[in-house]
């Protein structure tokens, strides 16, 4: 007789994902690819975006409100798909909520582990670079001084518009990154979930203005893998033999849903930049 016991109980409830706006679409793209049988409810707090120019207490309050909204919709787990929200609220959310909470973190660890003599540019919102959780993460790196934090105010707004021209984005990058012209850059950390949505633009800028490998890093793939581990560990996986649902992602926003959902759907379908 076989000793193998087949799992017969699965959890078909959706997974909640939230961000200050559209940025979490970059995280959700990776999750959808890794977990093809799961359903999701996405909440973009577009009316309050960006979080990166707000005080920590404001970010915490907005994050808790987003989490409460998704919990009331019956999600079985929560993904905080926003680096700024993670830094300000992840500990409070984990204490408060009775579902597993997974977060995204700036991928400075793999960037710093890459051999090289150049620097690592960590591009993020100003709030992310100033919050204690991120500072503690940077301090744990073997060579924390190798990481140069660059606040990219205005970039989230360009991406949120859904119609920004590449020239506009390059002009802003020139403004923020001009001090590093010609420097050796081993890695560029996309420390805001909005940024992977325009990864090819970052790559083109880096190749034209920096020396070194200039490899791009983001935390989205790691977040997807961690979510899979958490679902398995808590017995929350959907039935892998069930037919994948047609409408896997439901979209909600604090802004105008009619005008914002088409932008979100388009961003969700943007090809993933392969690191």
Three-state DSSP class for 126? helix
Instruction: Give residue limits of the domains in the chain.
Output: 15-104+220-268, 108-217
For residue 4, pLDDT over 60 is answered with no
Instruction: Answer yes or no: same fold for 15-104+220-268 and 108-217.
Output: yes
Instruction: Give Cβ neighbours of residue 247 (< 8 Å, ≥ 6 apart).
Output: none
For residue 1, pLDDT over 50 is answered with no
What is the separation of C-alpha 6 from the centre of its chain, rounded to a whole number of angstroms? 34
Q: Which of 112, 152, 192, 214 is catalytic?
A: 192
pLDDT tens sequence across 50-101: 999 899 999 999 999 999 999 999 999 999 999 999 999 999 999 999 999 9
**Whole-number pLDDT of residue 275:** 66
Q: Which of 82, 112, 152, 214 is catalytic?
A: 82
What is the arithmetic mean of pLDDT over 146-152? 96
**Whole-number pLDDT of residue 244:** 77
Note if 192 is an active site residue: yes
15-104+220-268, CATH topology level: Rossmann fold (3.40.50)
Class in CATH terms, 108-217: alpha beta
pLDDT band with cut points at 50, 70 and 90 for residue 271: confident
Note if 119 is an active site residue: no
Closest among 169, 160, 165 to 205, alpha carbons compared:
169
**Whole-number pLDDT of residue 258:** 96
**Whole-number pLDDT of residue 8:** 60
Cβ pair 201, 190 in contact under 8 A: no
Lowest mean pLDDT, pick from 1-10, 13-22, 152-161, 233-242: 1-10
pLDDT tens sequence across 196-234: 999 999 999 999 999 999 999 999 999 999 999 999 999
For residue 2, pLDDT over 60 is answered with no
The DSSP secondary-structure symbol of 145 reads: G
pLDDT tens sequence across 176-200: 999 999 999 999 999 999 999 999 9
Cβ pair 15, 75 in contact under 8 A: yes
Cβ pair 118, 211 in contact under 8 A: yes
């Amino acid at each position: 007789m076989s000793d193998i016991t087949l799992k017969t109980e699965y959890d078909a409830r959706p997974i909640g994902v939230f961000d200050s706006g559209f940025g979490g679409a970059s995280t959700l793209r990776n999750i959808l690819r890794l977990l093809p049988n799961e359903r999701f409810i996405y909440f973009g707090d577009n009316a309050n975006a960006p979080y990166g120019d707000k005080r920590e207490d404001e970010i915490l309050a907005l994050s808790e409100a987003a989490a409460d909204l998704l919990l009331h919709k019956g999600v079985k787990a929560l993904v905080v798909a926003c680096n700024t929200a993670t830094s300000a609220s992840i500990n409070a959310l984990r204490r408060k909520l009775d579902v597993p909470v997974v977060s995204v973190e700036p991928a400075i660890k793999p960037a710093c582990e890459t051999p090289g003599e150049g620097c690592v540019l960590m591009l993020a919102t100003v709030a992310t670079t100033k919050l204690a959780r991120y500072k503690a993460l940077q301090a744990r790196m073997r060579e924390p001084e190798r990481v140069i934090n660059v606040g990219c105010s205005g970039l989230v707004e360009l991406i949120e518009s859904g119609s920004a021209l590449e020239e506009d984005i390059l002009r802003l990058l020139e403004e923020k990154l001009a001090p590093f012209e010609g420097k050796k850059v081993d890695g560029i950390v996309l420390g805001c979930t909005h940024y992977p949505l325009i990864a090819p633009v970052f790559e083109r800028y880096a190749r034209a203005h920096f020396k070194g490998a200039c490899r791009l890093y983001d935390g989205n793939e790691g977040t997807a893998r961690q979510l899979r581990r958490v679902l398995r560990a808590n017995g929350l996986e959907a039935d892998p033999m069930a037919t994948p649902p047609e409408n896997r992602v439901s979209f909600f926003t604090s802004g105008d849903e009619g005008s914002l959902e088409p932008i979100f759907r388009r961003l969700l379908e943007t090809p993933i930049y392969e690191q």
